[in-house]
Amino acid sequence: MIQDQLDTNMTFSLQQASEELEINPAYLSREFSKYFDNLSFGEYMRKLRIDKAIQLMENDRYSLSEVAYLTTGKISYLVRKIQISRNCAYLYLCRMIDRTALLDNPIWSALCSDNSALGSGTDQVKLFDLDIAPFGAVKEDTPENFRELYNRTESNRVVVMFSPKANLDTLPFETIAKIPGYQMVFEGILPKAIVGSDPVSLADEDVPAMLALTQLAQPGPFTERTIAFGGYKGIFEGNILVAMAGQRLKSGGYTEISAVCTHPEHSGKGYARSLIHSVIRDIVATGNTPYLHVRTDNARAVALYHRLGFRIRTDICFYVLKGLDN
Whether residue 158 sits in one domain with residue 95: no
Is residue 269 a part of any domain in this protein?
yes
Three-state secondary-structure class, residue 132? coil
- Model pLDDT, residue 90: 46
Tell me, yes or no, whether 138 and 240 share the same domain: no
Is residue 150 located within the same domain as residue 220? no
| pLDDT band, very low/low/confident/very high, at 38 (cuts 50, 70, 90) | confident
Of 114, 145, 179, which one is at a domain's C-terminal end? Answer: 179
DSSP 190: P
Peptide bond into 106 cis (omega under 30): no
d(CA 239, CA 208): 12
More confidently predicted of 94 and 26: 26
125 within 8 A of 138, measured Cβ to Cβ: yes
Q: Is 318 helix (H, G, I), strand (E, B) or coil?
A: strand
pLDDT in tens, 147-203: 999 999 987 789 999 999 999 999 999 999 999 999 999 998 888 877 666 799 999
In a domain, 152, yes or no: yes
For residues 197 and 191, give the distance between their C-alpha atoms in angstroms, rounded to a whole number: 13
In a domain, 213, yes or no: yes
CATH number of the domain that residue 297 is part of: 3.40.630.30
Same domain for 192 and 157: no
Identify the domain containing residue 86 by its residue range: 2-99
pLDDT tens readout for residues 77-88 = 665 565 443 444
Residues 32 and 113 in one domain: no
In terms of domains, do 292 and 202 share one? yes
Mean pLDDT (whole number) for 129-140 = 95
Residue 98 burial (10 A CB sphere; 0-12, 13-18, 19+): exposed
Where among 149, 179, 209 does a domain terminate?
179
Tell me: do 279 and 298 sit in the same domain. yes
C-beta neighbour count of 58 within 10 angstroms: 12
Tell me, yes or no, whether 324 lies in a domain: no
Count of structural domains, the chain: 3
**Cα 209 to Cα 202: distance, rounded to the nearest angstrom:** 10
pLDDT for 259 beyond 80: yes
Whole-Å CA distances, 234 to 6, 243, 269? 39, 6, 14
167 and 199 fall within a common domain: no
Residue finishing a domain among 77, 99, 121: 99
Q: Is residue 221 part of a domain?
A: yes
The CATH code of the domain that includes 57 is: 1.10.10
